[in-house]
Structure 1
Amino acid sequence: MDDPTATNLAVTAVVLLWLVSRQLVERPLRERSPIGLVLLTIGAVETGWYVTVHPLSWGDGALVVASLAVGVLLAAVRAFTVRLSVRGDRIVRRGTPLTAALWGVGLGQHFLIDTGVAAGLGAVTVLVYFGVVLLAQQLVLVRRAAAAGLAGR
């Protein structure tokens, strides 16, 4: 694949499938998860490289920030579609079909920014998007567990 946009879209599809598949199986709820930080870091490096070659306007930056803000809101809503329960001495979480659907909605709105900004910016910033929304969802899940009296197990 010589086209960087096609490569980014392929990486996006793989990461999305991996994230959603992990969300739909029962897994321990961890207070901290490195996945969001790793994706955010890789995405920030990739985005930084992109903007050095393709300078962005203030409008482009504002649309990316707006997409991230919508993504964080959707992540908070998505966190309430995840079931929390206790198995032995661990808190576990498992997403629902609505969890998966909200991932699709969030990613779709993020790629909509490509219609109003520099071509390919949505694909370039998608790992930043994944990192930010994963961190937001994790924060809401941990707080939900604490509010339900499940934390500290």
Structure 2
Amino acid sequence: MNNPTTTNLAVTAVVLVWLLSRQLAERPLRERSPIGLVLLVIGAVETGAYVTSSPLSWRDGALVVASLAVGVVLAAVRAFTVRLSVRGGQVMRQGTVLTAALWIVGLGQHFLIDTAVTAQLGAVTVLFYFGVVVLAQQLVLVRRAAVAGLSGR
């Protein structure tokens, strides 16, 4: 696995499987997502290193931003496919098959930018993408729970 593209795709696959397993399991809803922040920071460092060595055109940057915007919209939609309940005084969350499908659609649209931008930009920015969309979904889930009057406190 000396090829950076192969390594990025392997990391992407591992992170996606891990995220999907967490999304589909019933778990407590947290106010904050440390996972989202970690992915965002690691992704920002990777993206920054790539951009330093391979500057992006304005078009490349715009397409990455567009992909992130689509990802945030899909994250908001995906948040409404997650079941919320209260168990033992704690708000619980559990994704559905539709949640998983929307994760795959979102990742697919992000990798589509590779067809129109600097080589492997989708793969390089994928952890940043994951961080942004995890945080967006989390914000919508927390807001949904608040609006529904669910409280774990």
Task: Please give the secondary structure, in 2, of the residue aligned with 1:151.
Answer: coil
Show the 5 A alignment for 1:81-92.
81-92=81-92
Show CA shifts across 1:12-69 (max 9, x none). Answer: 0000000000000000000012000000000000001101111110000000000000
Q: Are residue 94 (structure 1) and residue 130 (structure 2) matched?
A: no
Residue in 1 aligned with 2:13? 13
Residue in 1 aligned with 2:60? 60
Task: Please give the secondary structure, in 2, of the residue aligned with 1:117.
Answer: coil
Show the 5 A alignment for 1:38-53.
38-53=38-53
Report the Cα offset of residue 2 of structure 1: 1.1
Task: Please give the secondary structure, in 1, of the residue aligned with 2:117.
Answer: coil
Q: Are residue 123 (structure 1) and residue 123 (structure 2) matched?
A: yes
Q: Are residue 146 (structure 1) and residue 146 (structure 2) matched?
A: yes
- The separation in 1 between residues aligned to 2:11 and 2:152, in whole angstroms, is 37
- In structure 2, stretches of 5+ residues that fail to align are none
- In structure 1, stretches of 5+ residues that fail to align are none
Residues 90, 151 of structure 2: 8 Å contact kept: no
Residue in 1 aligned with 2:134? 134
Give the TM-score normalised by structure 1: 0.99
Residues 91, 152 of structure 2: 8 Å contact kept: no
Report the Cα offset of residue 152 of structure 1: 5.2
CA RMSD across the alignment: 0.6
Task: Please give the secondary structure, in 2, of the residue aligned with 1:119.
Answer: coil
Question: Partner letter of residue 20 of structure 2?
Answer: V
Question: Partner letter of residue 113 of structure 1?
Answer: I
Task: Please give the secondary structure, in 2, of the residue aligned with 1:8.
Answer: helix
Task: Please give the secondary structure, in 1, of the residue aligned with 2:46.
Answer: helix
Report the Cα offset of residue 151 of structure 1: 2.9
- The separation in 1 between residues aligned to 2:62 and 2:127, in whole angstroms, is 18
Show CA shifts across 1:58-87 (max 9, x none). Answer: 000000000000000000000000000000
The alignment covers a number of residue pairs equal to 153
Following TM superposition, the consecutive aligned residue runs of length 4 or more in structure 1 with deviations greater than 2 angstroms are none
Question: Partner letter of residue 135 of structure 2?
Answer: L
Residue in 2 aligned with 1:107? 107
Question: Partner letter of residue 87 of structure 2?
Answer: R
